[in-house]
Structure 1
């Protein structure tokens, strides 16, 4: 079974089997077998090759973390991170920069985006001016669900304040063509971040702050339904959310 992910990634990077082999320290025939037979390399070789291609090794070889003969994860799973905090500010910036048509954000506050990603509003405005449709759904600081989450995470009124702070952060982009900000009071089972065909989903665990909870990285694939399911969830919440004006 061919490894289409590896083949497509090499093509997009303009990388031949010989070039990848030389940079990763393996034989060219080995790389060709990775592609043509779907053979899963040893971890060290996989990490080296993925580094050359600037891609996550688990995306290129989904069974890598479960053994050389294990059944693959869903075709849409790129990586699973134990904590959201493992994603660096540079990775968040790169993620949103990859969105050219659609950027969606469903959170309660996620003020870390403005605190850690330098020029986050400028990034959004630049994308919007280029035609990207941006939808941002923030938690309503006065909703019962937001207050409940604060108590569950022992955050007290802190999460309500952070929702208000998030709205302050986004105020400068409100009114920009192609950017819409709304507030919602739904139970937030997962925070969803979308950039075109890629998605970060920050799972929520009872009593645990979001930065310490797992984060899934998905990429849309022809055979997968995960992104579609999360997108449907986002759209449902968006339909119930209240638009924020420029006042």
Structure 2
């Protein structure tokens, strides 16, 4: 609410409830609104419903692998930038950006270099897995996309930003070509996963928001994928 500059009274009016009802949500986070109201609140605040009421979101399906799915988006850019910001800022142990270019995070997240610097200083591990701008895989992808802002250019923008972090303990970056079709972004026990579809750009592909609930679930399967690529990756900084 503070980020969206929305008061309790204004939020209540926006979603059609009394101010007292909205105040109860703040006083007792376990009191989740009805599903339709949760959706309206999330839209009003530009936030993810699963971030506002994670217990309610996860209780929809209590068994099976799908219980780790907090939210699903038909397009990556349908996920509010505030969700990314909340995940980055809340992480305390590890952050991994395993997108092929990771270009968009620098465009959408203000002062990201400063924020990641603070994370590393506090003992949080920060890793970036990026594509090799000189590889054949990158060149083939550029031919498929056929856009002026090429894949290699987007990677180099990330590398330029990372050059400001390479002196920090706890920050590392590696090249890999094997995640061209799958981007994985993890923040402690939370994860955003984007499988890239055909010739579509990253922001046009769907995305899942996962919350780790146990061993060998969806979160762990994708985390294992990233770990294998990381082990086989080439250091960005020699």
**In structure 1, how many angstroms separate the alpha carbons of the residues matched to 2:83 and 2:38?**
21
**What is the aligned partner in structure 2 of residue 113 from structure 1?**
105
Count of aligned positions? 211
Q: Which runs of 5+ in 2 are unaligned?
A: 1-19
Distance 1:25 1:164, change over 3 A: closer
Shift of 1:153: 2.2
SS in 2 for 1:121: helix
Shift of 1:190: 1.1
**What is the aligned partner in structure 2 of residue 205 from structure 1?**
197
Corresponding position: 1:238 with 2:237? no
**What is the aligned partner in structure 2 of residue 183 from structure 1?**
175
Q: Select the residue among 77, 93, 97 that pairs with 1:101.
A: 93
**What is the aligned partner in structure 2 of residue 5 from structure 1?**
none
**Larger CA deviation: 159-168 vs 228-237:** 159-168
Q: Which has the larger radius of gyration?
A: 1
Distance 1:240 1:161, change over 3 A: same
**In structure 1, how many angstroms separate the alpha carbons of the residues matched to 2:209 and 2:147?**
27
Distance 1:89 1:81, change over 3 A: same
SS in 1 for 2:186: strand
**What is the aligned partner in structure 1 of residue 220 from structure 2?**
228
Shift of 1:25: 9.2
TM-score normalised according to structure 2 size = 0.76
Shift of 1:117: 0.8
**In structure 1, how many angstroms separate the alpha carbons of the residues matched to 2:117 and 2:201?**
29
Corresponding position: 1:56 with 2:56? no
Q: Which runs of 5+ in 1 are unaligned?
A: 1-20, 35-40
CA RMSD of aligned residues (A): 3.4
Distance 1:151 1:63, change over 3 A: farther
